[in-house]
């Protein structure tokens, strides 16, 4: 698979292992220390901090967690030593005007629970550690020691399962950052919704129920939600985000490609593969399939009411068939990036953070938006093409199969 990295747009950042976390029991699935990549701020951004959490889905039982244990999603021993920063993590003002000179951190994801798990006991047979919630605190404490204790502005963000992390831990992050700092939360493709799959089964609800039980996550989910609902429902932003006190911004595609592939049409709900071509590219959908897809968009928009009507909320919901739009330059900020109400995601998020202009916009239905970069994934070819306005522009990212399949 071709990997495309423009030297003028992206750069590599070394890994940092949080060795001090081990003594606190804040470790990856395999017991290795958590890790992050850190590019220090400069100039006017020296006391501004952007803490961005990596995505990578979840493991919901011993079998799936053991499968993650020997990958970068379960062990820092398996993580690459350098990671490319671009998009919201870029250090160039032309590509990231509001955050380029901030301290920018990408926290690696190695616990499988969106940093909510905490089980003290370790089964000697599996040697699995379920300690995601401890990792969250240990990483933030490490960053405080490295200068975040002087933060003037701070954002917790993330993509996919990392975007869910930034929602679930939004108020926790604010509580850990020094009083007086301006703190906001931003989630990219992290607003996973509770909807039945095409066979009528509550697939994702059952899956999240297993995640919460396996990782002992209930006690680390917002009590304002768990006091009213079964804990696993509080893993869905639509049921818990209204109680979040800290300002929150959601960026999501209404036709989220991961959610369509794994929530609406998981493999188990499509045993004969009749949805295969449609899931790769919405242009291949039959009229009845497209009707189902449009129904998913309506369900997604309805679930957004869970955010509440506060002015401190922001959202950029475009009609792209995409998943995660902030980490790549093409979709974050370029001359031909996706726009909504004539604003790129970068502009909308920056205006919202700095209180220049509120942003709460939902796109018209597919296929009206001609600015989309649609991610057309073919699992049989293990390739992903980025389709811009109907023209395939490039094949991007090594290991994209893992990234798309693992949220």
Burial of 393 (0-12, 13-18, 19+ CB in 10 A): middle
3-state helix, strand, coil in the chain (%, to 5): 35, 20, 45
Q: Which residues of the chain have pLDDT under 50?
A: 1-7, 377-406
Percent of the chain scoring above 90 in pLDDT: 88
Residue 376, pLDDT score: 56
Residue 309, pLDDT score: 84
Residue 31 Rama label (left phi>0; alpha psi -120 to 50; beta)? left
Catalytic residue among 256, 363, 369, 387: 256
Residue 374, pLDDT score: 73
- Which strand ranges, in their side-by-side order, compose the sheet holding 391-395? 373-378, 383-388, 391-395
Under 8 Å between Cβ of 59 and 67 = yes
Geometric angle at alpha carbon 114, from 78 and 396, rounded to 5°: 55
Does residue 160 have an active-site annotation? Answer: yes
Residue 94, pLDDT score: 97
Q: 208-239: per-residue pLDDT in tens?
A: 999 999 999 999 999 999 999 999 999 999 99
344-375: buried (b, 16+ CB within 10 Å) or exposed (e) per residue? bbbbbbbbbbeeeeebbebbeebbebebbbbb
Residue 383, pLDDT score: 35
Residue 389, pLDDT score: 42
Pair of tokens at residue 190: 């992290």
Alpha carbons 338 and 334: distance in angstroms, whole number = 9
Pair of tokens at residue 252: 């999501």
Catalytic residue among 32, 72, 160, 166: 160
Catalytic residue among 72, 257, 323, 400: 323
Under 8 Å between Cβ of 29 and 75 = yes
Does residue 86 have an active-site annotation? Answer: no
Which residue has 């129904």 as its token pair? Answer: 295
Does residue 256 have an active-site annotation? Answer: yes
């Amino acid at each position: 698979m071709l990997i495309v990295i423009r030297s003028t747009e992206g750069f590599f950042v070394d890994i940092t292992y949080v060795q001090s976390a081990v003594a606190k029991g804040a470790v990856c699935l395999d017991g290795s220390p958590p890790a992050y990549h850190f590019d220090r701020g400069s100039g006017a951004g020296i006391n501004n901090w952007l803490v961005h959490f990596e995505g990578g889905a979840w493991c919901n039982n011993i079998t799936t967690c053991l499968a993650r244990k020997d990958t970068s999603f379960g062990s820092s021993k398996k993580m690459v030593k350098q990671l490319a920063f671009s998009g919201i993590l870029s250090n160039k003002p032309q590509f990231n005007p509001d955050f380029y000179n901030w301290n920018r951190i990408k926290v690696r994801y190695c616990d499988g629970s969106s940093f909510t798990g905490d089980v003290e006991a370790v089964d000697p047979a599996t040697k699995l550690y379920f300690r995601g919630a401890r990792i969250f605190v240990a990483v933030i404490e490490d960053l405080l020691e490295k200068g975040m204790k002087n933060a003037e502005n701070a954002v917790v963000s993330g993509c996919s399962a990392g975007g869910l992390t930034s929602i679930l831990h939004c108020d926790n992050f604010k509580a850990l950052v020094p009083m007086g700092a301006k703190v906001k939360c931003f989630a990219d493709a992290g607003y996973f919704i509770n909807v039945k799959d095409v066979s009528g089964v509550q697939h994702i609800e059952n899956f999240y129920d297993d995640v919460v039980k396996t990782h002992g996550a209930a006690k680390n989910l917002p009590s304002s939600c768990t006091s009213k609902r079964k804990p696993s429902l509080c893993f869905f932003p639509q049921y818990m985000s209204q109680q979040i006190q800290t300002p929150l911004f959601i960026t999501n595609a209404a036709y989220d490609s991961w959610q369509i592939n794994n929530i609406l049409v998981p493999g188990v709900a499509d045993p004969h593969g009749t949805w295969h071509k449609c899931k790769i590219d919405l242009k291949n959908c039959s009229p009845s399939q497209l009707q189902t897809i449009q129904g998913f968009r309506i369900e997604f928009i309805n679930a957004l009411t869970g955010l509440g009507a506060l002015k401190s909320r922001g959202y950029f919901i475009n009609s792209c068939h995409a998943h995660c739009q902030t980490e790549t330059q093409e979709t974050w900020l370029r001359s031909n990036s996706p726009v909504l109400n004539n604003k790129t995601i970068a502009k909308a998020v920056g205006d919202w953070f700095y209180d220049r202009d509120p942003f709460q916009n939902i796109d018209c239905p597919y296929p009206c938006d001609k600015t989309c970069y649609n991610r057309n994934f073919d699992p049989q070819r293990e390739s992903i093409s980025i389709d811009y306005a109907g023209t395939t522009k490039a094949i991007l990212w090594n290991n994209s199969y893992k990234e798309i399949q693992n949220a």
